[in-house]
A and B are shown apart, each in its own frame.
Chain A
Amino acid sequence: MSQESHHDHFIVPTSVYVGALGALLILTVITVAIAQINFGSFNLIVALLVAIIKASVVMFVFMGLWWDDAFNRFAFLSSLLFLFLFFLFTFADVWFRDFRSPLESEILPIKSPVRPAVVGEKSSH
């Protein structure tokens, strides 16, 4: 195999990679900053949204999915689809599980290794 007959790879310009790096760093700062403010359950959604954007940048730019074979893209993204299905169907059970009984709490106290932090405990001696 001669050196010249190498395959026709598209070489991504450095500027694109630098841009992606900048975006990722900024997004990290944003996600940390937002987390300091309490939006309640909204926090989780924002954090996940930012994480998904960051992940997309890594996947499409750094991992080169943008320029890659369509089928590679399909294969990798379909794994996310199956993961989503796994999540969805498991939670189809977890979310809708029984009409929990009011007696439930008395069934079995769990064997918790956590030492209880009671207010005033520190001042007890």
Chain B
Amino acid sequence: MTDTASTTNYLNSTTGWRSWLFTLDHKRIGLMYLLFIAISFGLGGFFALALRLELINPGKLLFTAKQYNQMFTLHGAIMTFLFIIPSIPASLGNFILPLQLGAKDVAFPRLNLASLYIYVLGAIFCVYSMVAGAADTGWTFYTPYSSTTDTSVISMTMGAFILGFSSIFTGLNFIVTIHKLRPPGMTWFRLPLFVWSLYATAIIQVLATPVLGITIVLLVLERVLGVGIFDPALGGDPILFQHFFWFYSHPAVYIMILPAMGIMSEVVSAMASKKIFGYRLIALSSLAIAIISFLVWGHHLFVSGQSDYAAVIFSFLTYLVSIPSAIKIFNWVSTLYRGSIDLRAPFLYFAAFLFMFCVGGFTGVMLASLSLDVHLHDTYFVVAHFHYVMVGGTTIAFLSGLHYWWPKMIGKMYSEFWAFVAWLFIMVGFNMTFFTQFLLGSKGMPRRYYNYLDQFQPLHAFSTSGTWVLAIGFLIMAFYLIDSIMNGKPAPANPWGATTLEWQTDSPPITENFHDTPVVTTDPYEYGVAKS
């Protein structure tokens, strides 16, 4: 145990911009990912605010219908491909995975850097699409609309194609790292649960993303050459596109939520100083989710005209996938029993996650119901549901992880008071914005509507006002986190008294991660045994 903070660490061991741009250190790459992801989140958030502002009353306020359609497409595409899919794996995962494993780096450091630059290239394509007549197809790019609209669909989809490769390489790297770079004694059932969740995530990234790639290739070729597979005017089938798209994009939802669940397992154990309840079941449920998630994509197509037999199979499997998620929630709550609960920022976000993920999950059960989905499909109910899972689940867990590992990454403590204030704003703002949308949706308000019936106006206005509260929360967070980099108190090596390996090294860690290769002799959450 090295509590004496050494003066050199991965941040200051080498200096100059080249030492960052050409670094092979997974920690620096993770940090750069974090920066880009934060920028993307800001951009996507900006579009969200603009969209909600437009929707404060029916008819035109600031934008035309076309501009509105382009903005919701950009909001969706940026938030999905540039923010939420890479958010946890590429930034926190990159930084923490080798540390938790006790490895010096990921298996392929150069591939890791390449994946960062591929991400940047993909982002450039998306930004280019933004200025060159942004796509107005929605992030789902459904044909034949996407193959006939005159906006720049090609640059936007090529951006998503390139980002897919970034995601594949990250996933591939993680799988190999977890298989091959475990130090002596680190058996599979001694892996921290965050590592388990990243492993399950990586499986999906490697198996599903190529199908997105080929779907996009076919869409681009459809526009350029008229390949015709998805174009009904040429004898193709638009529903086949939906199968192709959702074969990736449904598992992608689990690329988003699985690492979030991993963070929650880490945080609840560390903040309660308690060994996680039912470790094996949580670990295996991650794998179960990853596998079953491939077989449920058709629940996006219940009213699309797919065969009713297929719909029934997909609905059945969708219900199966809900069980492992439920198991995790019950295990987390049980972990709290007779713990010693530290109510600092990571735990606050855990509590928020628990509540909002329940709402997202239970509304998911409603949407998986074949008959109920007929009414709710493509309404604001769906919008609210996936925002509860993606923002209330993934993003909140991301924030929890960010606060949990911030001292390790930056070596500074943030202001616990301001963290609480920001948390409060985010909780209130988020629920104002999105709970309202459940009501709108079940009352019949369809999604992707620029204009709407007057009777929906009060609820829309309330939802819009919620986004401002939410925005204030995120701004506060940006300020105190940036402030902590300059003015924060130096962080101890292990501020939470956690037991996983990343806390056994300095904050921030040295470039080689550990002074000596750790030898693992116990399970990851042995809070019972005396700590050194």
Contact = CB atoms under 8 A, between A and B. Distances in A.
Contacts of B207: 79, 82
A112 B239 CA distance: 20
Contacts, number: 53
A86 B207 CA distance: 11
A89 B233 contact: no
Interface stretch (B80-88, B305-313, B506-514): B305-313
A79 B203 CA distance: 10
B296 to A, nearest CB: 9
A95 B294 CA distance: 20
Contact of B247 (A86, A92, A95): A86
A112 B235 contact: yes
A108 B232 CA distance: 9
Contacts of A82: 207, 294
Nearest to B247: A86
Interface string A82-101: 10011001101111111000
A110 interface: yes
Given A85-B294, A93-B243, A94-B240, A110 B309 contact: no
A59 B20 CA distance: 41
B264 to A, nearest CB: 27
Interface in B220-267: 232-235, 239-240, 243, 247
A86 B208 CA distance: 10
Contact of B307 (A85, A86, A98, A112): A98
Nearest to B311: A93
B179 interface: yes
Contact of A93 (B179, B232, B294, B306): B306
Contact of B309 (A96, A108, A111): A96
Given A90-B243, A96-B307, A98-B305, A71 B179 contact: yes
Interface string B294-330: 1101100100011111100110000000000000000
Nearest to B304: A93
Contacts of A96: 307-310
Contacts of A90: 240, 243, 247
Contacts of B247: 86, 90
A13 to B, nearest CB: 29
Contacts of B239: 93
Interface in B266-309: 294-295, 297-298, 301, 305-309
Contacts of B301: 93
Contact of A92 (B235, B240, B305, B307): B307
Contact of A89 (B211, B232, B298, B308): B298
Contacts of A97: 305-307
With a 10 A CB-CB cut-off, give which of A79, A93, A110 has the most chain B CB atoms: A93
A110 B232 CA distance: 7
Given A110-B235, A112-B234, A86 B211 contact: yes
B310 A92 contact: yes
A112 to B, nearest CB: 7
A89 B313 CA distance: 9
Contacts of B297: 89
Given A110-B234, A111-B233, A93 B307 contact: yes
Contacts of B308: 96
A114 to B, nearest CB: 10
A92 B309 CA distance: 7
A92 B313 contact: yes
A98 B307 CA distance: 6
A76 to B, nearest CB: 12
A89 B295 contact: yes
A94 B305 CA distance: 10
Contacts of B305: 97-98
B51 to A, nearest CB: 33
A90 to B, nearest CB: 5
With a 10 A CB-CB cut-off, give which of A82, A85, A96 has the most chain B CB atoms: A82
Contacts of A112: 234-235
A122 B4 CA distance: 92
A8 to B, nearest CB: 17
A8 B233 CA distance: 59
With a 10 A CB-CB cut-off, give which of A71, A89, A95 has the most chain B CB atoms: A89
Nearest to B239: A93
A82 B290 CA distance: 12
A38 B131 CA distance: 56
B408 to A, nearest CB: 31
A100 B301 CA distance: 18
A109 to B, nearest CB: 10
Contacts of A89: 243, 295, 297-298, 310, 313-314
A82 B204 CA distance: 11
A93 B298 contact: yes
A108 B144 CA distance: 14
Contacts of B298: 89, 93
Q: Which 4 A-B pairs have the closest CB atoms?
A: A93-B310, A96-B307, A93-B306, A92-B310
17 contacts: A71-B179, A85-B294, A86-B211, A86-B294, A90-B243, A90-B247, A92-B313, A93-B239, A93-B298, A93-B310, A94-B307, A95-B307, A96-B307, A110-B232, A111-B233, A111-B234, A112-B234
Interface of A: 71, 79, 82, 85-86, 89-90, 92-98, 108, 110-112
Given A89-B310, A96-B307, A97-B307, 12 more contacts: A82-B294, A85-B294, A86-B211, A89-B313, A90-B247, A92-B313, A93-B298, A93-B306, A96-B308, A96-B310, A110-B234, A112-B235
